[in-house]
Structure 1
């Protein structure tokens, strides 16, 4: 299997093959509209603007699995992203990223790269992980997505090369993007 074997659904219900993105560097992100990390939409848009001419694209996949922080449907979410954050990259329909209903694309990407250890010296990350341990302990097992705005970097050949947690520094993410362009 490869990243290009998967189908994704646009908010309007249209089905799109990931083959559409062959030859592009991808940042696949599970997102939410009402999360304390939602501001990252703006940062992702800036990164997309900076690198899109070099074959880079961000793909956002909203999910309501973490604290019901994306309760609206995909169309409402996509429209809000455009209005509130100027998002021009694709925002897809709502999906699950963990559990029995995990979208096949996310099942694939999260098993292609290792999950890094929790950085207990990072106060924001330590607090988030404490909350997850209390409310969603299964999300800390194996390669599950831990929270909204987990990011997977895919090179132009379709290989998943890195995973970034929502608390990871934007500068580290940007360096990784530059390394594959």
Structure 2
């Protein structure tokens, strides 16, 4: 099974796979500083703890090896500023994507460029036919990213419990299909 690159250069920032427990302190700090920013939209924030961060980092390597989850830290000038991931979807040829940034890193196009880099990386893998992004209907900031990247809104579905505090309980699902290669005309027969 082919895997994506573990480091993706994005100009002024980089996506890199997690480095196990050596990433604990910067990951925990990133989450701690982002809690109020994430709390309205991310139900997992209510369960945030040192232990959950350690468990997340402990599973990152095996999830990567199995292909279940490709989880990246977003780093700028050596400092973690966010996270993004892609994980197996409901169908074997599809993957879902997620992302979030430290509040000081928002509004700079970083999330759009990070997700765009992941889109390119995922479509370089032969077994990925489509990508999806799901977010709560009320989270208009998250909606801007798939819209900018050419995803089409395809579905509204009940959100996965527990619902986020500011959430509507309805997820919007966006989909982007693998681009089809251009058709090359055969030379005319003589």
Q: Which TM-score applies when normalising by structure 1?
A: 0.29
Q: Choose between structure 1 and 2: higher strand proportion.
A: 2
Q: Which TM-score applies when normalising by structure 2?
A: 0.29
Structure possessing the higher relative contact order (Cα contacts under 8 Å, 6 or more residues apart): 1
